[in-house]
Amino acid sequence: MQGHPKRSAPKLRKIPSYAPAWFGVDVPIENGYYYYCSPSGKLVQIEYALAAVGAGAPSVGIKATNGVVLATEKKQKSVLYDEHSIHKIEQVTRGIGMVYSGMGPDFRVLTRRARKLASQYFLTYQEQIPVDQLVQKVANVMQEFTQSGGVRPFGVSLLLAGWNHDEGKPYLYQCDPSGAHFAWKATAMGRNHVNGKTFLEKRYSDNLELEDAVHTAILTLKESFEGQMTEDNIEIGIGDVKGFRRLSPSEIKDYLASVS
């Protein structure tokens, strides 16, 4: 009886000799083929993406008993910019908001993708997508870009926050360039994130109310803020049972006055 033909092992695609320039690093070579992992087993492109996050503007997320807060630094490179035309905190759905540290253009792409995923969920189930499910879908997109050809990992980390109406409580999640995602009570990312997390560890309480969480977020940003903090160079968003929204400059000004 004739047996099944033997299947040959899948072959790696051969990349041109100028490929290392795409990666920005000496990629390991074996028999003319390039591999994404370094000899130590690291995906160096993810490390570069995380470096972009670490050099980005600080962002803070804090979960309270009755809501959740996102805050970020929004300094512009020139005084000629119209500060109110640029937003770093975006509303994905009526109840979910998102902020980033890292590369702004990458965030714009992920925001569009997140909104599309949320819309597809709504068309299928006729209800708003829960925060945790949106996080998983966005993280899957980010992970796919770590292993697909012709693309690079996203140079951003995201904080997604919103209110879960089924459970009656807020959620705060972080997504990294690798596609890893995890829930937080409070966290900081971007430039000087270690100092921010240390400050939050001292100030955070499980009984924190939303108003106090906004004050704590502002104080956390001040840990690494250079110059005078105003309503024009920071941005704050809050999510509660009513939904997610960005605070207006006048509201931020009032909060700054109360913590100074």
DSSP codes of every residue in 106-149: HHHHHHHHHHHHHHHHHHHHSSPPPHHHHHHHHHHHHHHTTTST
- What does the pLDDT read at residue 113? 98
Confidence of residue 22 (pLDDT cuts 50, 70, 90): very low
Distances (CA, A) of 88 to 68, 144, 191, 200, 246: 17, 24, 15, 21, 10
Confidence of residue 5 (pLDDT cuts 50, 70, 90): low
Mean residue pLDDT across the chain: 87
11 has a pLDDT exceeding 50? no
- What does the pLDDT read at residue 3? 55
- Retrieve residue 136's tokens: 């998983």
- What does the pLDDT read at residue 125? 96
Side chain identity at residue 65, one-letter code: T
Confidence of residue 12 (pLDDT cuts 50, 70, 90): very low
- Retrieve residue 126's tokens: 């006729």
Side chain identity at residue 182, one-letter code: F
pLDDT digits (tens, 9 = 90+) for 90-132: 999 999 999 999 999 999 999 999 999 999 999 999 999 999 9
Residue with tokens 């909060």: 255
237 has a pLDDT exceeding 70? yes
Residue, of 167 and 1, whose pLDDT is higher? 167
- What does the pLDDT read at residue 148? 84
Report percent pLDDT > 70 for the chain. 85
Work out the average pLDDT over 180-192.
96
pLDDT digits (tens, 9 = 90+) for 149-168: 888 999 999 999 999 988 99
pLDDT digits (tens, 9 = 90+) for 27-81: 444 444 444 566 776 788 899 999 999 999 999 999 999 999 999 999 877 778 7
Q: Where are the domains of the chain?
A: 41-259
- Quickly count: other Cβ atoms within 10 Å of residue 54's Cβ: 16
Work out the average pLDDT over 171-179.
97
Instruction: Please report which helix (H) or strand (E) contains residue 246, including its range.
Output: strand 243-246
The domain 41-259 having CATH identifier 3.60.20.10: the answer here is yes
Side chain identity at residue 171, one-letter code: Y
